[in-house]
Amino acid sequence: MSNNKSYFFQSWAIVLIAIVSFIGFKSFLPKKLFPDTTLNGKNVVVDSLLLDAVANGDKTQEKDTLSNTTIKFNSNPLGIQFPDEKYEQYKGYQYLIPFFEKLFQLETKKQGKTRIAYFGDSMTDGDMIVQDVRTMFQDKFGGEGVGFVNITSESAASRGSIMHEYSPNWKAQSYLKVKSPSRSFGVNGAVFFAKDTINATWVKYKAFKTRHATSLNNPTLFYGKSSKKGAKIRYVVGKDTVYKSLNPTAILNTTTVSTSTKSLKMNFVNSDSIPFYGMNFDDGKGVHVDNFSSRGNSGLPLSNLNKDLMNAFQQKLGYDLIILQFGTNVLNYGSLNYGWYEKKMKNVVAHLKECFPGAAILIISTADKSTKYELTMKTDSAVVPLASAQKRYAVQAESGFINLYTLMGGDGSMVKWVEEVPAKANKDYTHFNHRGAKQIAGLIYKQLMDGYEEYKVLRAIASRKRKPKTSAVNDSNVPVIKDSIHE
């Protein structure tokens, strides 16, 4: 009996010593002990340019010369000028005027078309956010179709705006992993090859009952240059099997496969050396939004897009707005100084302006992300510094800017989005679910429409100023002054 008591007191003594030791050492332990979620490493990719930049980048603190300043704008050739903006409230609508003007022509004259290239990371994977932005634009300005779709895609199975399947014998090269591809990357940051000449190489698309995307509108194949002869695609229309020859003679080639259809399966015949880029589905009217998402993308790989090839894409597709939504993969690299990222992304924007002449650029900042500090989930300490760096390069690169962090509620907002019922974000406290993605799309669309409505007011004012004063006497010798705004 005495032995049992001895063991009992010894056990309590050990527990007491452990508690005292933990309290004593607690102040020396890091705030973040363990990751908050278990990541599937098989599906996590971080681009090689980001890893190189983190390893070799200049980590010295950049001097902030923009805070508490006023951003002054110059009027555009039509005499339209948005009011100067305090840096803290910067949106940069002045730099989106070419895009707003295209929307104006669509709304007032029902003429022309407008196209948006939406580049993003895992936030837009599976057409999340983008599909809702697309629908909102098409509801107001018209347009049918999901736009440009890859040959193969890591998110094909989770995409809700189109069914996408393909054979396993495609070779894909992405600008996230390959710095020097065998052929230039397409506008989607990838290039695809039919690597198997024995087994059938195919790709299949099928429209869902998604608003404005119930058909595969004017299916058009995009592919590059090759010396290959005799290449064909084979597909079935009704009871007929159709063969179409491919002519890969130019830097960028297109082949319209068929008229609009609900479903399309294409087999690629004798085409093993041709670089393929993807399929485009649109009706040629209204607004079209292409989703170019890549898991793990920081935005830096966009610098690897070939200028000449992108100019060719611009001639065929005609982008009016380039959206860059990045940040998820840039957080948490041991420093809160993102001056290196700011410099590199400013150069990326300059490169994109050369790739897509005439297109406006819109930067969307990182969203909120929560991390466990001690026992509480809070906004990660890197979110605000990164969003600030993104705003600085947007200003310096003369681009529009949307602060997604503040739009969704600012500090602690991701915790609320995860924990409210029904939830709007996933338990990784980083990514939105479909409900949250739709709300985010609404916030982005609303800010763009706010700018567009302001643009229409300023446009009308500029138009009145440019109209000549008419005389009460009708003199046929008085020259007529045209209003260039309305041409």
Class in CATH terms, 153-276:
mainly beta
Confidence of residue 198 (pLDDT cuts 50, 70, 90): confident
Predicted local distance difference test score (pLDDT) of residue 66: 78
**SS3 category, 379:** strand
Where are the chain's structural domains?
34-143+284-466, 153-276
- CA–CA gap between residue 217 and residue 262 (Å, rounded): 9
- CA–CA gap between residue 122 and residue 124 (Å, rounded): 5
Predicted local distance difference test score (pLDDT) of residue 151: 97
Produce one character per residue of 153-177: b if its CB has 16 or more CB atoms within 10 Å, e if not. bbbbeebebbebebbebbebbbbbe
* The token pair that represents 456 in the structure block: 């229409």
- CA–CA gap between residue 189 and residue 178 (Å, rounded): 10
- Say what the pTM is: 0.86
Q: Which of 2-6, 107-111, 294-298 has the lowest mean pLDDT?
A: 2-6
Closest CA to 121 of 391, 367, 339: 367
Which ranges in 82-223 belong to alpha helices (H)?
Answer: 97-109, 130-141
- CA–CA gap between residue 147 and residue 305 (Å, rounded): 20
- CA–CA gap between residue 165 and residue 168 (Å, rounded): 10
Q: Which of 69-73, 280-284, 328-332 has the lowest mean pLDDT?
A: 328-332
Q: Other CB atoms closer than 10 Å to residue 229's CB: what's the count?
A: 10
Pairing of strands 321-325, 360-364: parallel
Predicted confidence (pLDDT) at residue 386 exceeds the cutoff of 60: yes
Domain 34-143+284-466: give its CATH code.
3.40.50.1110
Residues 6+ apart with CB under 8 A from 276: 151, 191, 192, 193, 194, 221, 222, 223, 224, 268
